[in-house]
A = this chain, B = another copy of it.
Amino acid sequence: MGADPTGIVVGLGLPPEAATGWLDDLTDGFRDECDLVGASVVGGDITRCDLVVIAVTAMGDLGGRAPVTRSGARPGDVVAVAGRLGHAAAGLALLHGGRTEPAELVDAHRRPEPPYARGPEAAALGATSMLDVSDGLFQDLGHVAKASRTGIVLAPESFAVHPLLAEAARLLGADPLEWMLSGGEDHALAATFPAGVRLPPAWTVVGQVIDGEGVQVTGRPMGRGGWDHFSEWRFPLM
C-alpha cells in the first residue's frame, strides 16, 4: 500500500513440547527480516496450542499519504511487476520432484525476498493500485480487476523467463510461464501506473488495464490460476 514498514506483532500458539532451539531460530528470523527494512518486533502474545500457529500483523507508516489500494486501476494504465515471479513455485515443484537443484530456486521457495523498497517507490511514482503477489499474479491481478471494475490483459512475451526457471522447467517438463503466472510466495509487487509513467529498471511492464472484467493472457485460453486457500493444490492455468 506504499507505507514504510515500522513494526510487526507476532502471536504464537505453541505446544508445550515445542523445541526452544527452533523458537530461537524463529525469533532470529523475525529480527533479521525486520532489520532489512528498519522495522522491529514491537509486541505479541503467546498461548498454548496443539499446533504451532504463527500470526503476524505488519504495520507501516504512510507519512500522511493515501494508501495505494486494489481499487484504483483505470483503463489505459499499465500493469508492472517488481521482484521475482515463479521462482518459489519452481523451487516447490523441484522439491516435490525430489530435487534440490537449482539451489537458488529451492532457496527462493524457502526464503522469499520481497522487494520491500519497491512499495513506497511505486506509491511515489503515482501507482493507481498495488498488491503483493502472494497467491499468483493471475489470481492477485484478478483482485485488482474486480476491485477496480476493470479488465486486465497480460502480454506473455513481456515476461522474461529467467535462465534458472527455464532450466527447472526442462528438468521437470514444465512450463515456466505457468509458474510465473500462477505461482505465489515470491511476494513480488504488482502495480498499475498511468500510461506514460517512466519506471525504474526494477519494474517490468507486463500488461495493460482495459475496459472490461477479469484477467486475460494474450494467446492463452482463459483459466483459473493461483492459490486457493481452501484447496490442497494449486490450480494450473488451463
A48 near B11: Cβ-Cβ < 8 Å: no
Does B55 contact A230, Cβ atoms closer than 8 Å?
A: no
B residues near A195, Cβ cutoff 8 Å? none
Produce 1/0 per residue, A152-178, CB < 8 A to B: 000000000000000000000000000
Among B48, B55, B230, which residue has its beta carbon within 8 angstroms of that of A53? B55
A57 within 8 A of B: yes
In contact, B229 and A53 (Cβ under 8 angstroms): no
CA distance A94 to B11 in the complex (A): 31
Q: How far apart are A105's CB and chain B's nearest CB, in angstroms?
A: 24
Contact flags (1/0) for A13-57 with B, using CB distance below 8 Å?
100100000000000000000000000000000111111010101
Knowing A16-B230, A230-B16 touch, does A53 contact B49 (C-beta < 8 A)? Answer: yes
Q: How far is the CB of A131 from chain B (nearest CB, A)?
A: 13
Q: Roughly how many angstroms separate A46 CA and B228 CA in the complex, as a whole number?
A: 11
Q: Are A48 and B13 in contact (CB under 8 A)?
A: no
Q: Does A9 contact B (CB under 8 A)?
A: yes
- Chain B residues near A57 (CB-CB < 8 A): 9, 11, 55, 57
Grouping DSSP codes into helix (H, G, I), strand (E, B) and loop, the A interface class, with mixed when no group exceeds half, is strand
* A53 and B50 alpha carbons, distance in the complex (Å): 11
A229 & B55 in contact (Cβ 8 Å cutoff): no
Knowing A11-B57, A57-B57, the reply to whether A49 touches B46 (Cβ < 8 A) is no
Which residue from chain B places its CB closest to the CB of A8 in the assembled complex? B57
Complex Cα gap A53–B51 (Å): 10
Q: A9-B57, A11-B57, A57-B57 are in contact. Are A50 and B47 (CB under 8 A)?
A: no
Shortest Cβ gap from A115 to chain B (Å): 20
Which B residues are in CB contact (< 8 Å) with A230? 16, 48
Q: Chain B residue with minimal CB distance to A56? A: B11
Shortest distance in angstroms between A80's beta carbon and chain B's nearest beta carbon? 25
Q: A11-B57, A57-B57 given as contacts; is B51 within 8 A of A229 (CB)?
A: no
Pull 12 A–B residue pairs with CB atoms less than 8 Å apart, ordered by A: A9-B57, A11-B55, A11-B57, A13-B53, A16-B230, A49-B51, A51-B53, A53-B53, A53-B55, A55-B55, A55-B57, A57-B57
Residues of A within 8 A of B (CB): 9, 11, 13, 16, 46-51, 53, 55, 57, 59, 229-230
